[in-house]
Structure 1
Amino acid sequence: MSQSRSPAFLPRLHDVWRLSWPIIISNASVPLLGLVDTAVIGHLPHARYLAAVTLGSTLFSFLFWGFGFLRMGTTGLTSQAAGRGEDQRVRDLLGQSLLIGVIIGLALVALSAPLIDIGLRLLQPDSEATAQLAADYAHVRIFSAPAVLMNYAIIGWFLGRQNARVTLLLMLVTNSINIVLDIVLVVGLDMNVKGVATASLVGDYTALAVGLWLVRRALKTLGGRFDATPLKRITAYGELFRVNRHLFIRTLCLLFAMAFFTSQGAQLGDQTLAANAILMQLVMMVSYGLDGFANAAEALTGRAAGRRDWREFAASVRACAVFSLLTAGLAALAFAIGGPWLIARLTGIEAVRHLAGDYLPWLVVMPMIAVWSYLLDGVFIGTTQTRAMRDTIIAALLVYLPVWWLTQPLGNHGLWLAFTTFTLVRSLGLGMIYLARRRGQWSDRGDTNRFNE
């Protein structure tokens, strides 16, 4: 009997949707925030404002999401500990992740001046005016670092415990405040890029306050007790470090690929940079939808791995794949039919609209290629076998950069071709590793006693 018709499959479909819909709704506020940023700044009289926010946002993708393992690693380890019924370990993981977030966040604030200077130099703004506006944004935004990284840990912990509705509340608080303040500060008070940065700062700290309150309530229902020992001994962090070292490298590589794309677009002029930024906002809309099912895969496969239940594991992956492929197909169709209309909603600058329309075909094919990397990232995070994620993204970069170099005569089309190839290599690499492990380690025949690498 096939896995898809087994009794375990239909309940997994329900579980995937139960975990995914709150995450998808909360994630929808993230691209909505990006769309508001783009629309508000994009209707200012010059493209340099949108270019500056794009560069500043890219910089903080490096500074913050470089430490995204605080979310991903916490989710995988927490879901496995919860699957084994180890409440004390669930408590310890939260405390350790929060402490790591505070330390890294304060270090980023302390080193803000050189980090911002070096980061903007690497991104190579097209003009001095754009560089100054990007710096104005960055020097405000950096102060949210401790809150952002602690929020990563809190969100990861709740997802690992399959409490997606709490995550929904936390994300909606952050992004709702951010969107409202965007409009008030940029449109009402004419603060341009500093207004966008201030809105993000206030939203992040508000979310942290709400998140800590929710954590306090959740701990009252959890077995075990507060124990400071795992927070003080460096050896107690061994499992987190083992999982997260690969995630750290993988995330940096991914962010480098995104930043390289933005930087090379900037070299083609502010209008091309602005057009790419608008298209990337549409890509992000799809990615946050796919991420909802990937997050469900993290929680469900992590629980199954903790229980050593490979039948449940297989059914969970298949159920997540059904929803992911449906989402990717609908997105590709939407871009093919309504892409020009979406672009027109994001900017009133005719030259930017025209350029974005020229490169729209790349967005039509992107969802069906990228869907596999999102889904399988969730599986590898849930099983905490993060070395595969690191290795495949390094391989993708080794293809991405030569393709870009060879296609420079094609201009921005060459840049989109290189980025699409990067995504394709990631998906293929993760798919091959997944199939190999399903035949061995992730089966009743394999070594079910090893997860961390």
Structure 2
Amino acid sequence: MTTDDQRSPAPTPAREILRLAIPAFLALVAEPLFLLADSAIIGHLGTAALAGLGVASAVLLTAVNLFIFLAYGTTAVVSRKLGAGDHRGAISAGIDGLWLALLLGALAALATAVWAQPLLELFGASPGVTSEAVTYLRWSALGIPCMLIVLAATGVLRGLQDTRTPLIAAVTGFSANAVLSLVLVHVVGWGIAGAAIGSVIAQTGMAVYLLLVVIRGARRLGSDLAPSGAGVLKAALGGIPLLVRTIALRAALLLTTWLAAGLGDGPLAAHQVAMTVWATLAFALDALAIAAQALTGKTLGAGDVRGTRETTQLMVRWSIWFGVILAALILILHRVIPLGFSQDPDVRTALAAALIVVAIGQPIAGVAFILDGVLIGAGDTRWLAWAQTLATLAYVPMVLAVWASGVTGVTGLVWLWVAFNGFMLVRALLLWGRGQGDRWMVVGAER
């Protein structure tokens, strides 16, 4: 029998954050490296191919990220039940989320493949760029079901306070994707289609691995693997506010890409890489937000309001400093990064200029991402849906001002990113105001 004096001391909030955030950071950075690898490989096929990847990836990421609630919502539900001591209920909720992911993935893949051409033509890019984009998007659509399964399985594991397993899946998947894309594009000679096929194969492997881990945990606890109609419906309805939030966020990102497409092929290609760099930094900053989701759900499930507040304040401070570090890193490398993505001097010049603005916005993004994670973990999704919609509406006149000015080329791209930083500032201020209150801190196994 172990006495109280012999037991290990309870982990501090800082150690708990780091335990979850460090593996999440490595895994999240690996995820956008799928696209970074494709950008670097496709960039050597020419400006049209790289620009085509830009518009195709905007649609693909929208098709997938519309269902990000499969990860975020599942994390919040599973972690709350875990904090309340209901381990079997936690894993059962996760299984329902996986079945929902499979259903939504099949529907999204079909819709993306069928409507690829008309969707991509909406961006108004040149015919050569659109042709490359259609090829990439139709092949990539095959991987959407597996991408959604990865989201849902990752959400289950994060809710169970396990961020190491998703890290293994992400690093292995990225490594396989990089090798496959390089071989299929430049050795086999499949062009932009080869990059898409390489990603699909890697995503399938990730999905199978994570599914096996979750199924093994469910069997150990005696949970039923068959779909529960009521459970799947509950997961779907519970995800609606996060779906609205995500639609509003993706609308802002698509609006940005739409305006970039009107700046010319060179600036569009530069924007594609700049947005990919921004996404990579966002995933890095989101590591703390992932920890925030898991810890907030768990502490509120256990009824620990004070612990929730203290952990939130600590994570906000860390996220701001992390944003400052990332900003400094990008400023140092803003002339080096373009060398790896294009041989076109105009693209390199535009990208270097855009990266300066990307860097400046990182501390602001840090605040937005961490508080978004906290409120998702708390299940405050209805408020998040409203706030994100308001932020996107505030962004519309900023984008229209850039469009109405008639600026193009490097100058137009820089002002577009200035406007995008304004959008992130509005988002951060709204989240900061909500976080200062207490209405989001609802305790118990169910919100």
Residues 29 and 280, structure 2, Cα contact 8 Å, conserved in 1: yes
Q: Of the candidates 342, 354, 360, which is equivalent to residue 359 of structure 1?
A: 354
Query: Are positions 1:225 and 2:223 aligned together?
Result: yes
Distance between the aligned counterparts of 1:13 and 1:449, measured in 2? 23
Deviation per residue, 1:8-45 (Å, 9 max, x gap): 9981111111111111112222233332212111122x
Distance between the aligned counterparts of 1:143 and 1:114, measured in 2? 12
Identity of matched residues, %:
26
CA positional deviation for 1:141 = 1.0
Residues 69 and 244, structure 1, Cα contact 8 Å, conserved in 2: yes
* Greater displacement, 327-336 / 310-319: 310-319
Distance between the aligned counterparts of 1:183 and 1:416, measured in 2? 31
Deviation per residue, 1:28-78 (Å, 9 max, x gap): 22233332212111122x200001111111111111111111111101100
Over 3 Å counting, the alpha-carbon distance change for 1:417 and 1:324 in structure 2 is same
TM-score, length-scaled by structure 2: 0.92
Residues 123 and 259, structure 1, Cα contact 8 Å, conserved in 2: no
CA positional deviation for 1:316 = 1.9
Query: Are positions 1:347 and 2:346 aligned together?
Result: no
Deviation per residue, 1:294-319 (Å, 9 max, x gap): 10000001100101101221222133
Residues 94 and 154, structure 1, Cα contact 8 Å, conserved in 2: yes
Alpha-carbon RMSD: 2.1
Over 3 Å counting, the alpha-carbon distance change for 1:120 and 1:108 in structure 2 is same
Alignment partner, residue 55 of structure 1: 55
How do 1:355-434 and structure 2 match up within 5 A? Answer: 355-408=350-403, 409=405, 410=407, 411-434=412-435
Residues 20 and 292, structure 1, Cα contact 8 Å, conserved in 2: yes
* Greater displacement, 19-28 / 318-327: 318-327
Distance between the aligned counterparts of 1:10 and 1:217, measured in 2? 27
CA positional deviation for 1:192 = 1.7
Residues 141 and 201, structure 1, Cα contact 8 Å, conserved in 2: yes
CA positional deviation for 1:325 = 2.0
CA positional deviation for 1:451 = 6.6
Alignment partner, residue 3 of structure 2: none
Over 3 Å counting, the alpha-carbon distance change for 1:239 and 1:436 in structure 2 is farther
Alignment partner, residue 5 of structure 2: none
TM-score, length-scaled by structure 1: 0.90
CA positional deviation for 1:358 = 2.7
Over 3 Å counting, the alpha-carbon distance change for 1:412 and 1:205 in structure 2 is same
Over 3 Å counting, the alpha-carbon distance change for 1:200 and 1:309 in structure 2 is same
Alignment partner, residue 174 of structure 2: 175
Query: Are positions 1:269 and 2:270 aligned together?
Result: no
Distance between the aligned counterparts of 1:296 and 1:154, measured in 2? 16
Secondary structure of the structure 2 residue equivalent to 1:111 = helix
Distance between the aligned counterparts of 1:345 and 1:111, measured in 2? 34
Aligned residue type for 2:293: E
Distance between the aligned counterparts of 1:208 and 1:376, measured in 2? 29
Distance between the aligned counterparts of 1:59 and 1:278, measured in 2? 15
Alignment partner, residue 258 of structure 1: 253
Aligned residue type for 1:184: V
Query: Are positions 1:136 and 2:135 aligned together?
Result: yes
Over 3 Å counting, the alpha-carbon distance change for 1:9 and 1:288 in structure 2 is farther
Secondary structure of the structure 1 residue equivalent to 2:194 = helix
Aligned residue type for 1:171: A
Residues 147 and 204, structure 1, Cα contact 8 Å, conserved in 2: yes
Query: Are positions 1:73 and 2:63 aligned together?
Result: no
Structure 2 residue runs without a partner (length 5+): 1-8
How do 1:109-124 and structure 2 match up within 5 A? Answer: 109-124=109-124
Aligned residue type for 1:76: A
Question: How many equivalent pairs are there?
Answer: 433
Post-superposition, which runs of at least 4 consecutive aligned residues in structure 1 deviate over 6 A? none
Over 3 Å counting, the alpha-carbon distance change for 1:346 and 1:9 in structure 2 is farther
